[in-house]
Structure 1
Amino acid sequence: MEVLWLLILLSLFLPAAIFFLLSPSKRRALPPGPPSFPLIGNLQWLRYSLTNIEPLLKQLRPRYGPIFALRLGSHLTIFISDRRVAHKALVEHGAAFADRPASGKVTRVLNSNQHNISFARYGPLWRLLRRNLAAEILHPAKIGLFAPGREWVLGVLFRDLRSKSEAAAGGAVVAMESFQFAMFCLLVLMCFGEKLEEKAIRDIQSAHRELLLYTSKLNVFIFFPVIAKHIFRNRWEMMMRLRQRQFDIFVPLIRTRKEHKENQRGSEDGARFVHSYVDSLLDINLPEDGGRKLTEEEMVTLCSEFFTAGTDTTATALQWIMAELVKRQEVQRRLLEEIESVAGEEIIKEEDLQRMPYLKALIMEGLRRHPPAHFVLPHSVTEEVELEGYVIPKNARINFMVAEMGWDEKLWEDPMEFRPERFMAGGEGEGVDITGSREIKMMPFGVGRRMCPGLGLAILHLEFFVANLVREFEWTSVEGEEVDFSEKPQFTVVMKNPLQARLLPRRKQT
């Protein structure tokens, strides 16, 4: 139906398109790209899905170069695939490229009119929300408060994997669901400050994930949203129902936290309540809006953003890394040797991670070879700027091809090969600055002012869980099956066929 609708629109606006193509005009030096039609944009959208745009971009890059433009309806989107051009934009001219595009009608519903960190316009509100997250949750001193929570979640993950291994024929386990639930447990604890029961966590996860995955069905509202809202009324109503369900589950938890904070309950609640993200949100005042507090809707949006940023991305990276360890047993053995030399047979503590250089190299190679997101969220410029001789118009969307930069064969030898050694002494990745402040060699967390503030926490979680998963189990392939590294775009870029592995406990249970 969507393709039919686009064909109808194309026929309606064909006369305008012919006029546009035949009329003389003084074109500015916009980045090159395929021919476009007024109001419709590029016809490539008839053959490619908006949720799987990467094949189209790989086809266009050799033809148009490292910076090119596409039009989706009236929206101009510029794609940058070269790491040096990306550094010029995001670091050398960081302030100019730090804005976000204005949200469309659908997105404004989901981000509370851009009142969250990911989508807020570059200005006081964004600075306030980001500074709050960085200081109250992501500061090293605050991250340390959740160390017991990480050990609790590790136990949850171990029990889940053992149960699945014992129940499966031949011990084969599909691990991704376990990874997602474990990460979500940890993020729920950090967000709401409580170790909730499994059912309550799964209810929160379900409400969050169903809405997140449903957003892929909302791309139809990009074209003429007023008309699309009537044509695709059922999708709009479903989105609103899913949003309301999320609201109904999150708000009681926020109110419980507010009550606890106001009453300053005694020590009997000490084991139940820990420092939380919601605590910090309750303290925020918005100076540009008369000093008011955040609304409950805005807090739901910020909590949802917190889960989105920290769950699927980490679980996806974890699955890719464990898949490489299943395929490359020599890498797994080398990591195990490092683990045993540092921690013996004990659970690995966070302070042990600093003495594991091969583990760190393994995580970096995993993020380079399998970045969970192949694109950053779109940037925008508030005023027309020039980049590499091209005009970047005001309000244009600018995106960066993250995966392509980490696979640049001019920098990385055999870039599609998985080799942690490249990040050890003497390798081409030795001492790489993952923040990209000096130069961009890889940017799995973005670069510049809009770089993901959770970079340090994500790497800590990957190191902690990978090391302990290898210490606890031997990860081997299922007999007769090869690990399939085919990709599939979802919210992140996941394994098309989720990892199946045989898990052999390395020690007896007591």
Structure 2
Amino acid sequence: MDTLQLVQTQPYATTLALGVVLLFLVFWFTHKRSKLPSVPTVPGLPVIGNLLQLKEKKPYKTFTQMAEKYGPIYSIRTGASTLIVLNSVQLAKEAMVTRYSSISSRKLSSALQTLTSNKCLVAMSDYNEFHKMVKKHILANLLGANAQKRHRLHRQVMMENLSRQFNEHAKSSDLAVNFREIFASELFGLAMKQALGSDVESIHVEELGRKLSRDDIYKILVLDLMEGAIQVDWRDFFPYLKWIPNKSLEMKIQKLCDRRKAVMKALMNEQRKRLASGKEENCYFDYLLSEAKELTEEQISMLIWETIIETADTTLVTTEWAMYELAKDKSRQDRLYEELQNVCGHKKITEDQLAKLPYLGAVFHETLRKHSPSPTVPPRYAHEDTELGGYHIPAGSEIAINIYGCNMDEKQWENPQQWTPERFLDEKYDNTDLYKTMAFGAGKRVCAGSLQAMLIACTAIGTLVQEFEWKLGQVEVEENVDTVGLTTHRLHPLQVKLKQRN
């Protein structure tokens, strides 16, 4: 009987022992984790948290001001969600590289969710098989080093057109010229050639019932959608109130999407007619139809549109800010011109010479630092407990990386509010290193278009300084030079006076 009782009770004793061990392990891990402090919290109001502090559509500046008081990492409440904000290069790299596997999912607003067709873009998708596939495609045909060589002719034509238009203005008028009007038009033309094979002057859009001009196409595909991307749906902050209608915003965003879809459909149909006639072009559309059979029609449309809007917008932002800084700083403009003369002589700058022009590179990187085109990274989502900067980050937290704050960090940069290209002539910066600032991100999600942005912006800046002396068309008080939109567009287009150099 004793033996029988022992056999019967042994399974229970084993189970009890395993339970004790598991309880010990849970206690040990919990105790160990509890040693990590919680992220500092910015005080807010009940229910709404810190939303009122973010009412201005420039959260990156508010985040930076908060960092001065609460440190480079802190949490805020945005309604029902906790948002952890990172404001230093070290923390940003830790999130983007070291802890990437824990926080690789995107957290998009309702507007962006709709505008991106549920993350159907390289830049906005989660890090998954779709992202890997479409990034491979865009690098192979459009943005990779070899692809950029194949598209070089389009960039050369763009530079020639810029030179011609600014020269015509300088010869015919002493008045200031709208820099953005000329540069944005040429950049849009380049984007269309790379994406679709041609710079379309006009097109009939059946769904809209009319013929659109090139300016109409640019407005629908670029300007309107950049404005739509910053629209805020208050329900994003209170998911439990999603049932409450917000029809005006929903209709506005849906209208933007419908117009984009209609225009993209018309543009793609025109290119299909070209292909049916036997004429092929070195463009992304032709490549995707041939090599990306796994993609749907909607996905192809979205990926083509993504290359157009990203080429046409962010590079414009950087180049316009660079020319503004040079136009108001004659000594640095003269220094750049002298470097261009020493390297290029009387010949126009070429992309092959960029590596020999360190000061031009410094102008580009300092502009990216001070005027980051994308001041914040779209929030990511921590899908498991992790650690950042020695703090415990609980699963479910949203992570916002404040690129502007990283590039304005006084511990990283001396006098960060000043535009000082010379800081990038330091030996610690490799002249060929594109990632001197956080403007292009880091890790697996580093910006695929960084090489193209550098080639276009640097060659354009060099060409324009080679050929003209630049002065501001009107006196601008630094405090009044503001930004607008999802990217850091100047609030007002740059007005400049040009004088042809001998």
TM-score (norm. length: structure 1): 0.81
Distance (whole Å) between structure 2 residues aligned to residue 182 and residue 249 of structure 1? 20
Distance (whole Å) between structure 1 residues aligned to residue 359 and residue 112 of structure 2? 42
Matched residues, percent identical?
A: 27
Q: What are the Cα deviations for residues 170-229 of structure 1, in whole angstroms up to 9, with x where unaligned?
A: 321231232222221111111111132277532321112212212333433424579678
In structure 2, the residue matched to 1:390 is 391
| CA 1:92–1:253: 2 relative to 1, 3 Å | same
Give the one of 449, 468, 485 matched to 2:444.
449
In structure 1, the residue matched to 2:156 is 151
Map 1:293-312 onto structure 2 (within 5 A): 293-312=294-313
In structure 1, the residue matched to 2:67 is 61
Please say if residues 192 and 198 of structure 2, whose CA atoms lie closer than 8 Å, have aligned partners that are also in contact.
Answer: yes
In structure 1, the residue matched to 2:329 is 328
| CA 1:480–1:77: 2 relative to 1, 3 Å | closer
Letter in 2 for 1:176: R
In structure 2, the residue matched to 1:137 is 142
> Is 1:207 paired with 2:220?
yes
Letter in 2 for 1:314: T
| CA 1:463–1:56: 2 relative to 1, 3 Å | closer
Q: What are the Cα deviations for residues 476-508 of structure 1, in whole angstroms up to 9, with x where unaligned?
A: 13366667773324121233443221011225x
Please say if residues 408 and 415 of structure 1, whose CA atoms lie closer than 8 Å, have aligned partners that are also in contact.
Answer: yes
Map 1:162-181 onto structure 2 (within 5 A): 162=167, 170-181=174-185
Please say if residues 327 and 483 of structure 1, whose CA atoms lie closer than 8 Å, have aligned partners that are also in contact.
Answer: no
Using the TM superposition, name which of 318-327 and 471-480 deviates more.
Answer: 471-480
> Is 1:33 paired with 2:37?
no
Distance (whole Å) between structure 2 residues aligned to residue 412 and residue 59 of structure 1? 16
Shift of 1:155: 3.2
Map 1:41-52 onto structure 2 (within 5 A): 41-42=48-49, 44-49=50-55, 51-52=57-58
SS at match of 1:442: coil
| CA 1:107–1:367: 2 relative to 1, 3 Å | closer
Using the TM superposition, name which of 228-237 and 60-69 deviates more.
Answer: 228-237
Letter in 2 for 1:248: A
Please say if residues 185 and 201 of structure 1, whose CA atoms lie closer than 8 Å, have aligned partners that are also in contact.
Answer: no
Distance (whole Å) between structure 1 residues aligned to residue 433 and residue 345 of structure 2? 31
In structure 1, the residue matched to 2:189 is 185
Give the one of 286, 291, 294 matched to 1:279.
286
Distance (whole Å) between structure 1 residues aligned to residue 409 and residue 160 of structure 2? 39
In structure 2, the residue matched to 1:7 is none
The runs of 5 or more residues in structure 2 that have no matched partner are 1-33, 203-211
In structure 1, the residue matched to 2:112 is 107
Distance (whole Å) between structure 2 residues aligned to residue 79 and residue 235 of structure 1? 27
Aligned length: 459
Shift of 1:318: 0.6
In structure 1, the residue matched to 2:27 is none
SS at match of 2:378: coil
Shift of 1:398: 1.0
Q: What are the Cα deviations for residues 454-481 of structure 1, in whole angstroms up to 9, with x where unaligned?
A: 1111111111110111122211133666
The runs of 5 or more residues in structure 1 that have no matched partner are 1-25, 286-291, 436-440
Map 1:485-504 onto structure 2 (within 5 A): 486-504=481-499
Letter in 2 for 1:116: L
Letter in 1 for 2:493: P
Distance (whole Å) between structure 1 residues aligned to residue 362 and residue 283 of structure 2? 31
In structure 2, the residue matched to 1:238 is 252
Distance (whole Å) between structure 1 residues aligned to residue 304 and residue 154 of structure 2? 18
Letter in 2 for 1:190: Q
| CA 1:284–1:432: 2 relative to 1, 3 Å | closer
In structure 2, the residue matched to 1:374 is 375
SS at match of 2:117: coil
Distance (whole Å) between structure 2 residues aligned to residue 228 and residue 474 of structure 1? 55
In structure 2, the residue matched to 1:254 is 268
Please say if residues 165 and 172 of structure 1, whose CA atoms lie closer than 8 Å, have aligned partners that are also in contact.
Answer: no
Distance (whole Å) between structure 2 residues aligned to residue 505 and residue 197 of structure 1? 30
In structure 2, the residue matched to 1:10 is none
Please say if residues 229 and 486 of structure 2, whose CA atoms lie closer than 8 Å, have aligned partners that are also in contact.
Answer: no
Please say if residues 226 and 485 of structure 2, whose CA atoms lie closer than 8 Å, have aligned partners that are also in contact.
Answer: no
Please say if residues 102 and 385 of structure 2, whose CA atoms lie closer than 8 Å, have aligned partners that are also in contact.
Answer: no
In structure 2, the residue matched to 1:119 is 124
Using the TM superposition, name which of 159-168 and 250-259 deviates more.
Answer: 159-168
Please say if residues 69 and 76 of structure 1, whose CA atoms lie closer than 8 Å, have aligned partners that are also in contact.
Answer: yes
Shift of 1:339: 1.9
SS at match of 1:78: strand
Shift of 1:123: 1.3
Using the TM superposition, name which of 225-234 and 249-258 deviates more.
Answer: 225-234
| CA 1:45–1:27: 2 relative to 1, 3 Å | farther
Larger relative contact order (CA 8 Å, sep ≥ 6): 2
Please say if residues 488 and 494 of structure 1, whose CA atoms lie closer than 8 Å, have aligned partners that are also in contact.
Answer: yes
Please say if residues 172 and 500 of structure 1, whose CA atoms lie closer than 8 Å, have aligned partners that are also in contact.
Answer: yes
Distance (whole Å) between structure 2 residues aligned to residue 274 and residue 395 of structure 1? 46
Q: What are the Cα deviations for residues 311-353 of structure 1, in whole angstroms up to 9, with x where unaligned?
A: 2211111111111111111111121122223333333222232
Map 1:404-443 onto structure 2 (within 5 A): 404-426=405-427, 429=429, 433-435=433-435, 442-443=437-438
Shift of 1:360: 1.4
Distance (whole Å) between structure 2 residues aligned to residue 449 and residue 502 of structure 1? 43
| CA 1:36–1:412: 2 relative to 1, 3 Å | closer
| CA 1:167–1:29: 2 relative to 1, 3 Å | farther
Shift of 1:236: 1.7
